[in-house]
Structure formats: C-alpha cells, structure tokens
C-alpha cells in the first residue's frame, strides 16, 4: 500500500471514534471513504443505517451489512464522513474528483456534523490547484464552458464519464477561488450547471488529517 493510502486509512480509522451508535449517518465516496467503510464494518459499532453517496459506497456498505437508507427517509443525519480533493484551513473543500459531489453536497447538508478525512496532501492554504468539478446537463455543456472561460477558468470535459444522474463533468482549471462562497454561487447560477464541487457554504466541522508524524484533529481557523 502506498504511504498516501496508509495515511488515508489512518484518518478513516480515527473517524470511527466519532460515530455515535444507534444513529443515521452519511458516507461519502472515494478511496478514503472506502477505508472508512472497512474500518466501521470491522469495528463492530452498530449504527441504525447510512445514506450512501454512490453505488460503490452502497456496495461496500452491503459487504459489511451496514443498512442503507435513502436521503428522503430522514430529516437529519448525525454525522457525514467523507474525503476531499482539497481542504483549506477554513475547512472549505473542493470535492468531486470521483464525480459524486452532487450527492455528497446533499448528504452533507442533511448532516449535523461533517467530518472530513484526509491525508496531508489534501490540506492546502488556498483552494484551487485541483480543478473544480462542475456537473452540467449534457445539452448545456458548451454554453456553460464558454461562461466558465469568461470567469477566468479553463474547463476540460471529463471524457467517458457520466454522473449518477446522467450528467457530464467539466473539470475547471485556473478559476480564482479566493472568495470560495461567491464562486460557489456564481458557478451554480449558470444555466445548465447542476452543482459544482466547492464546499464553501457547507464546510466541514472537523478535519481528521493524517500526516506522517501523526493524526491531527483540526477545526476551522482563519
């Protein structure tokens, strides 16, 4: 296993300590979230059920007998656990490297607490090196791409990829994300955009960051 994967696993294992028993939770998508599902499954901890943000997450939950519930069946979740592509000191994030950011944002907004789990490579002073994933309705792809260029971005179509909802993803390089809340709103206001991967309105509440010299718990700070 690579060092990065070992760190992802350490962050994921630590997150199990923050899972309350007999509650509903949400589980994100990606390799760090997968490590979390293995850790939760092996922990013997009993939860009432979990909302999955992708087919892969649901499949892995099923392997451990973690009951799956649908977002419409609950009014809130005790906690949401997920990885990130980048996370800032304010715990705002870029997500969507796996193209699941629409479901992830919905589930994160149902949760009372969002715990981000990450290896140290994901922690950045400023968001924006990782391209911003923007889910678009296919017929609006070119129109949205032109608008993103006007905003200073360099969109690239994610070739051969369809989201859970049958949409396409534009990965947008070079956008100025120094005002993440404003940019989250601006991109989402473009006709044809379904959702973008900036988590600025809904940052994480806690970051479990695995570094080579140990696991750190970070709350948002300026």
> Catalytic positions, please?
104
The residue (of 121 and 178) whose beta carbon lies closer to ligand 5RP is: 121
Please give the span between the terminal C-alpha atoms of the chain, in angstroms, as a whole number. 34
CA-closest candidate to residue 86, choices 76, 99, 96: 96
Pick from 101, 105, 141, 147 the residue near ligand 5RP by CB under 6 A.
Answer: 101
Determine the interface stretch with ligand 5RP among 13-21, 82-90, 146-154, 158-166 (rule: CB under 6 A).
82-90
The residue (of 31 and 109) whose beta carbon lies closer to ligand 5RP is: 31
CB 95 within 8 A of CB 129: no
Question: 174, exposed or middle or buried, with CB in 10 Å at 0-12, 13-18, 19+?
Answer: middle
Q: Is 92 in the site for ligand 5RP (CB under 6 A)?
A: no
Q: Is 37 in the site for ligand 5RP (CB under 6 A)?
A: no
CA-closest candidate to residue 18, choices 105, 119, 118, 116: 116
Q: Is 186 in the site for ligand 5RP (CB under 6 A)?
A: no
Distances in Å between the Cα of 111 and the Cα atoms of 54, 89, 106, 190 are 17, 21, 9, 27
The residue (of 2 and 72) whose beta carbon lies closer to ligand 5RP is: 2
Q: Is 29 in the site for ligand 5RP (CB under 6 A)?
A: yes
Report d(CA 19, CA 122) in Å as an integer. 23
The residue (of 146 and 162) whose beta carbon lies closer to ligand 5RP is: 162
Q: Is 83 in the site for ligand 5RP (CB under 6 A)?
A: yes
Pick from 82, 86, 171, 184 the residue near ligand 5RP by CB under 6 A.
Answer: 82
Q: Is 203 in the site for ligand 5RP (CB under 6 A)?
A: no
Report d(CA 189, CA 87) in Å as an integer. 23
CA-closest candidate to residue 121, choices 34, 3, 1: 3
Pick from 37, 91, 96, 203 the residue near ligand 5RP by CB under 6 A.
Answer: 96
Determine the interface stretch with ligand 5RP among 14-22, 76-84, 106-114, 140-148 (rule: CB under 6 A).
76-84
- How many other C-beta atoms are found inside a 10 Å radius of the C-beta of residue 29? 27
Pick from 30, 128, 131, 180 the residue near ligand 5RP by CB under 6 A.
Answer: 30
Residues that bind ligand 5RP (CB under 6 A): 28-32, 82-85, 95-101, 104
């Amino acid at each position: 296993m690579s060092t990065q994967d070992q760190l992802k696993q350490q962050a994921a294992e630590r997150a199990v300590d923050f899972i309350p028993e007999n509650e509903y939770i949400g589980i994100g998508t990606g390799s760090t979230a997968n490590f979390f599902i293995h850790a939760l499954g092996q922990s013997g901890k009993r939860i009432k059920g979990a909302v999955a943000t992708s087919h892969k997450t649901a499949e892995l939950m099923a392997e451990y007998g973690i009951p799956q519930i649908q977002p419409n069946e609950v009014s809130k979740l005790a906690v949401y656990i997920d990885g990130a592509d980048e996370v800032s000191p304010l715990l705002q994030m870029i997500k969507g490297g796996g193209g699941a950011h629409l479901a992830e944002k919905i589930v994160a907004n149902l949760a009372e607490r969002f715990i981000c789990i990450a290896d140290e490579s994901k922690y950045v002073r400023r968001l924006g090196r990782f391209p911003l994933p923007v889910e678009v309705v296919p017929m609006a792809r070119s129109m949205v791409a032109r608008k993103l260029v006007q905003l200073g971005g360099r969109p690239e179509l994610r070739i051969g990829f369809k989201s859970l909802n049958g949409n396409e993803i534009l990965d947008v390089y070079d956008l100025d994300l120094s005002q993440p809340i404003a940019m989250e709103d601006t991109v989402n206001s473009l006709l044809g955009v379904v959702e973008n991967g900036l988590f600025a309105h809904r940052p994480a509440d806690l970051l479990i960051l695995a570094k080579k010299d140990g696991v750190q718990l970070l709350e948002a700070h300026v």
